[in-house]
Amino acid sequence: MEKMDRIKDLLIKIYGKPTGQEAFDQLRVLMTSYSERWVRQGFGDPDEKEVVLITYGDSIKRDGEAPLKTLQAFIRAYLKESVATIHFLPFFPYSSDDGFSVIDYLKINTELGTWTDVQAFSSDFRLMFDWVINHISAKSPWFEAYLASNPGYRNLAIEVDPDEDLGMVTRPRSLPLLTPVEKQDGRTVYVWTTFSEDQIDLNFRSIDVLIAMTRVMLEYVKYGASILRLDAIAYLWKEIGTPCIHHPKTHLMVKLFRAILDCLAPHVWLITETNVPHAENISYFGDGGDEAQLVYNFSLPPLLLHTFFKEDVSLLSRWAESLGQLNDHTTFFNFTASHDGIGVRPLEGLVSSEDIAAIIKTVRANGGDVSYKRNPDGTDSPYELNITYVDALRGSGLGGDEMHARRFLASQSIALVLPGVPGIYIQSLLGSRNWYEGVALTGRARSINREKLDVDGLVEEIEDPETFRSRVFAVYTAMIVVRRAQSAFHPRAGFKVLPVDSDVFAIVRSSQDQTVIALTNVTSRDIGVDIGTATTGPTRDLLSKRLFSSRKVTMAPYEVLWLTPT
């Protein structure tokens, strides 16, 4: 009863007493209909073995075979020892944005497979689904019902007078915020479209929308999701006269969804996708126990680029020290690449505008592009870098593929040793380069990092040790396997950043029964390192199995050492 009282209290805070009570009555009926249907997955909190693979359902394909079946066969054959969770990017019928303009939340895109194909993964892996909660496709049946003013759908979208002053609204795109649409009665209205004219923002002021989307959430749990990614959650609640990002009622909505899951499915975790500066990002932990259990560590990807471009870990080390120790129910999702570009905003307050300009210049030199957002004053500023993370770390002076692969893998090692859960994008794991053909095909800059790979050609490459893919894939997967066996890499194991040298990122991770000193040379030079008081005796490198009798070690360019006292 206490959990239901919390849900009721949150609804009244969001909607006021009469409407909140009405919402509670409807939500209680919905929850009752699901309460006997759960198949408990038996997952506990993430531990050191928790490594998440981020992938589209058709990232790996074979002609004549359902892509989900092809993907499952590949992962079982090559990644079963490396990953614990599969994060499926949207696999629903869609009209644009590679799945993030959802036509039907509860169907699987027939070009990918079926729900049975999705659930087949659960015999080996935890499942993470994308919950595209902020918007829906303009071609969806829900939006068609809104245009027809059908009962239950009349308030689906957010209608706004185009003469309203929307200057305070935070814009993640350089596109119009409002889109005119014609309703079936002949009226033209303007609806809120944060991301594109095909992505209609949902109106969570409507109880009908709340109930419909809560049903979607519970259906995903029924189909086996144990982690739900709240896409673009920061923009959920709109109120004219405010920035319409991180609205207090957005936070209350996250608390509400968490409270519902705590009541019905406490094994399910929420992760918030908020591509914003660090302080704003971690606000979605709430008080440490009432909002998301995981938040994306969005500052990490661009900060690593800055570190390797400058060959200086000073800023990265100071930032890592500031992460602090989280509680037993929250942690970071440490990633370097995703289906989207590399966010620029998370660098705000960390690096200078000159350094950001230098990063952009290097990314463009490496074949990438830059997407922009619209500012309240009408100007545009960089929003994300569109490039594969592999090619972002390319350099003219690296001396060929071998050194390029070493530099990239060094960057990935840092994400593996920081406190939190690693999230690894499949194109990074496979050593994918910029996919220019995809950009030409779609006309979208983000396609550069969304290649569709033929499985037979892929297998041939990763099994040939002379190929660039193999150089990346073999070392990356081996590093992950070692990582998963160390209790010191538990998400909430202790950590301390060591100021050993500006050329080497050094962090000590420690559990009750293990200490690991993780060192990463971020330069193209040999570096001598003194790990000082971090250990008093000989050490062994967990990766290479080499023994070191002295606390002083010499590291080759971009070398990674995970030292444990012998």
CATH T-level fold of 494-565: Immunoglobulin-like (2.60.40)
Residue 165 banded pLDDT, cuts 50, 70, 90: very high
Cβ(507)–Cβ(498) below 8 Å: yes
- If 0-12 CB within 10 Å is exposed, 13-18 middle and 19+ buried, where does residue 1 land? exposed
Q: Provide the residue ranges of all domains of the chain, joining segments of one domain with +.
A: 494-565
Tokens of 2: 């206490």
Query: Among 236, 243, 333, which residue's Cα sits nearest to residue 281?
Result: 333
pLDDT for 180 beyond 70: yes
Cβ(271)–Cβ(225) below 8 Å: no
User: Which residues touch 546 (CB under 8 Å, ≥6 apart)?
Assistant: 540
Give me the active site residues, please: 231
How far apart, in whole angstroms, are the C-alpha atoms of residue 283 and residue 529?
37
Q: What are residue 252's phi and psi, to 5 degrees?
A: -65, -35
- Mean pLDDT is lowest, of 34-43, 210-219, 556-565, for 34-43
How far apart, in whole angstroms, are the C-alpha atoms of residue 202 and residue 136?
7
Report the residue count for the chain: 566
How far apart, in whole angstroms, are the C-alpha atoms of residue 222 and residue 254?
20
Percentage above 90 pLDDT, the chain? 83
pLDDT for 544 beyond 90: yes
Q: Which residue type does 532 have?
A: G
User: Which residues touch 223 (CB under 8 Å, ≥6 apart)?
Assistant: 115, 118, 119, 129
pLDDT of residue 372: 86
Average pLDDT, the chain: 93
pLDDT in tens, 255-286: 999 999 999 999 999 999 998 888 898 999 99
Tokens of 184: 């079936």
pLDDT of residue 40: 52
How far apart, in whole angstroms, are the C-alpha atoms of residue 199 and residue 211?
20
**Greatest pairwise CA separation for the chain in angstroms:** 81
Q: Which residue, chain included where needed, has tokens 């749990």?
A: 221
Task: Give the bridge partners for 530, in sequence order.
Answer: 552
User: Which residues touch 494 (CB under 8 Å, ≥6 apart)?
Assistant: 325, 508, 509, 510, 511
How far apart, in whole angstroms, are the C-alpha atoms of residue 305 and residue 323?
19
The three-point CA angle 441-444-448 to 5° equals 80
- Mean pLDDT is lowest, of 207-221, 391-405, 540-554, for 391-405
How far apart, in whole angstroms, are the C-alpha atoms of residue 138 and residue 426?
30
User: Which residues touch 84 (CB under 8 Å, ≥6 apart)?
Assistant: 49, 50, 51, 52, 125, 126, 484
How far apart, in whole angstroms, are the C-alpha atoms of residue 159 and residue 224?
35
pLDDT in tens, 288-316: 779 999 999 999 999 999 999 999 999 99
Query: Among 399, 415, 373, which residue's Cα sits nearest to residue 194?
Result: 373
Task: Give the bridge partners for 385, in sequence order.
Answer: 342, 370
How far apart, in whole angstroms, are the C-alpha atoms of residue 229 and residue 201?
17
pLDDT in tens, 428-460: 999 999 999 999 999 999 999 999 999 999 999
Cβ(292)–Cβ(327) below 8 Å: no
pLDDT in tens, 338-391: 999 999 989 988 999 999 999 999 999 999 999 888 777 778 888 899 999 999
Helix axes 207-222, 17-34, angle to 10 degrees: 20
Residue-wise over 141-177: b if at least 16 C-beta within 10 A, else e?
Answer: ebbeebbeeeeebebbbbebeeeeebeebbbbbeeeb
15, 155, 181, 207 from 152: Cα distances, Å: 17, 8, 19, 9
pLDDT for 548 beyond 60: yes
Question: What pTM did the predictor assign?
Answer: 0.95
Task: Give the bridge partners for 13, in sequence order.
Answer: none
